[in-house]
Structure 1
Amino acid sequence: MQVQLETFLHKQWDRKGLISWLLLPASAVFLSMAASRRRKTVPVKVGVPVVVVGNIYVGGTGKTPVTIALVKDLKERGWNPGVISRGYRGKAESPVEVRLDSNPDIVGDEPLLIKKATDAPTFVCPKRVEAAEALLKAYPTVNVIISDDGLQHYSLHRDVELAVVGARGLGNGWVLPAGPLREPPSRLDEVDAIVLNATEDIVTSSTPRYVATSGFTNAVNYATGEIVSLDTLSRMQFKKGLKAVAMAGIAVPERFFSMLKAHGLEVRPIALPDHYDYSKNPFKDCEADLIFITEKDAVKCRKHADLKNDERIFVVPLETKLDKFLVDFVEKKITAAAKKSKEAAQQL
């Protein structure tokens, strides 16, 4: 039911139809309240440069893969990044460190995915300033913080804002509830850079924009840890006549399904609600020889001990690469911010 509702809403938000026009007065109220909150908020500096990776479109645009890629790139350049997140749909109300064995029901699935992919110090808290302060207290050698989401969390001072625009673009260009945007399109004129992720350059802003390329190459067997290329699995399926299913509880599951099919795999797609909690084992009665799931879904599957031996399940990691010039741009900004912060501290 939730999947159908999400599909219906996004279909309405793709155009300026009757429903959107009827909701436009409510959007004006939403916009006014959001603007008022922003004006009254005083940003807090936490002592190190902060990079916010966010969006203005409600729901998934690929922020987390971009965050992971940025953390990896900065580590390769000698930085020691830490990550903070709200921990969406997690139960943490105060700062909690995300560890490799953390419960996604507590810390959220995306922060756990980031931790597993980068091994960077990661903290979650609804109040991101508190998350950042807790992280720096526990890891004082961290010299840059990446905030996964939080473009609208104005209480945290940021030195770099990256707005990710995903496959759905900007919808009809209106803010909630008449449209899918948290803020108007003009907000993109204020950010430092726009990251185009799986979308064409449809943004009319003059802000610098860069492309993030994403794709799938390999799959990891959930039970054995064996890494197998998708092309090999495709040939195996064709040769042995194997039945395959693809399940995804992400914002745009169609992209996951189409990428698998691009590798020659014939899969029966099953779209689950975004952030599906896997409280029930969805694979138990699944008649398939091969089951493909996303990394984001895999972190939720750990609650089912019986899945550890299910060799039908393959986790397909999304590989995202950032434009080198984007990383250069970010590094230049945070280097300048770090220098300025150091000079200010010396004057105290």
Structure 2
Amino acid sequence: MSMAQVIQDAWNIQAKWLVVLRPLSCLYKIGFNLNKTLYQKGFKKSYTAPVPVMVIGNITVGGSGKTPLLIHLVEYLTQKHVRVGVISRGYGGKGPFPCYVDTQATAETVGDEPALIVQSTGVPMAVGPNRQQSIELLLSKHDLDLIICDDGLQHWALNRQIEWIVLDNNRGLGNQKLLPEGYLREPVDRLKTGTVIEHAAHPQSELHMHLAPAQPYLLNRTEYQTFDPNLPYYAVVGIGFPQRFYHTLESLEIQQFQCHEFPDHHDYEIEDLDFEDHYPIITTEKDAVKIMALLKQNPEYNRDIWVVPVEAVLSPACYQVLKQQLLEQGISIS
């Protein structure tokens, strides 16, 4: 097991030994605050795009549900005739950057989440560590009303007009410590400066969302098969908070599944999908993007792989706030 996975597991159970990492957290805090101050004081330059920018991010490391939220917002805004584009760091992708993402782009090149976003929505998208270059690439190809930045909440080099911070109450804030003692990227009081969208089954605020699973589908079969929740499955998952996926499986009344966890954005090898028997695999859409590319390289692989799609469901107040925030930027939707 890698050290990153060891620390991830320790965060999830709030292990007491994490206190030995406090000196590193202090260094992280000093460096983070210094970098932020340099941008705020103008010693480092921030880029202001010619169209409004909306950042969707979180203050924690690991999954919070922001990708399904982004996909839903892209679909919603497109239906409202808002010309929207998306940029992302392209974490896990090898580039070269900036890279325009189309429906043929692979996770190996652009990252798993950008590949999923474009395959799900067809939205214009560009990825790369330099967000300005990504925006300029997008605008050279499309006339856009709004750009959504996937993650990038802590990317001070990019000015933004709207910030949505996804707070996953299922996972919480852990020990509320900064990296690496805890899994916070920023102090808790950062939640006071953006629009907080509570991700919870039993929310406490008006601005909330949850993920609703849809019927699982087969990734590697052309013929129709009915999904059977009574079978035993291998739950293969490489996301930031795999426990959420296990809860989803339980909500689908899948009682028998063996967990096989990998680090977030894991680069799968065919050996990761080999087991001694022939029971099927079940996984997330984010993982499926990488697994599908792997299956194309290994056409002899014949184990059934089921994928569980999820959709973000937002409270009515989220749409009201979004409409008001966009109106303030000169974008009117009915």
Q: What are the within-5 Å matches in structure 2 for residues 33-112 of structure 1? A: 33-41=31-39, 42-112=45-115
State the AA in 2 paired with 1:28. C
- Residue of structure 2 equivalent to 1:342: none
Distance across 1 between alignment mates of 2:58 and 2:11: 16
Deviation of 1:324 after TM superposition, in Å, equals 2.9
Which segment is superposed worse, 280-289 or 83-92? 280-289
Contact 2:206-2:317 at 8 Å conserved across structures: no
Sort the Cα spacing of 1:4 and 1:317 in 2 relative to 1 into closer, same or farther, 3 A: same
Pair 1:223-2:220 in alignment = yes
Distance across 2 between alignment mates of 1:99 and 1:213: 28
Partner SS state of residue 270, structure 1: strand
- Residue of structure 1 equivalent to 2:295: 304
Q: What are the within-5 Å matches in structure 2 for residues 174-185 of structure 1? A: 174-185=177-188
Distance across 2 between alignment mates of 1:165 and 1:233: 33
State the AA in 1 paired with 2:6. L
Spell out, residue by residue over 1:112-162, the C-alpha distance to the aligned partner (whole angstroms, 9 max, x if none).
Answer: 01111111001101011211111111112x211111100000111111101
Spell out, residue by residue over 1:294-322, the C-alpha distance to the aligned partner (whole angstroms, 9 max, x if none).
Answer: 11111101133235873611111112122
Partner SS state of residue 329, structure 2: helix
Pair 1:25-2:23 in alignment = yes
- Residue of structure 1 equivalent to 2:278: 288
Pair 1:264-2:253 in alignment = yes
Deviation of 1:171 after TM superposition, in Å, equals 1.2
- Residue of structure 2 equivalent to 1:248: 237
Contact 1:49-1:159 at 8 Å conserved across structures: yes
Q: What are the within-5 Å matches in structure 2 for residues 142-161 of structure 1? A: 142-161=144-163
Contact 1:251-1:274 at 8 Å conserved across structures: yes
State the AA in 2 paired with 1:273. P
Partner SS state of residue 81, structure 2: coil
Deviation of 1:93 after TM superposition, in Å, equals 5.0
State the AA in 2 paired with 1:97. Y
State the AA in 2 paired with 1:264. E
RMSD value, Cα: 2.5
Identity of aligned residues (%): 32
- Residue of structure 2 equivalent to 1:5: 6
Contact 2:270-2:294 at 8 Å conserved across structures: no
Q: TM-score, normalised by structure 1?
A: 0.84
Pair 1:315-2:295 in alignment = no
Sort the Cα spacing of 1:151 and 1:65 in 2 relative to 1 into closer, same or farther, 3 A: same
Which ranges in structure 2 are unaligned for 5 or more consecutive residues?
40-44
State the AA in 2 paired with 1:212. M
Contact 2:197-2:208 at 8 Å conserved across structures: yes
Contact 1:281-1:304 at 8 Å conserved across structures: no
Contact 2:70-2:150 at 8 Å conserved across structures: yes
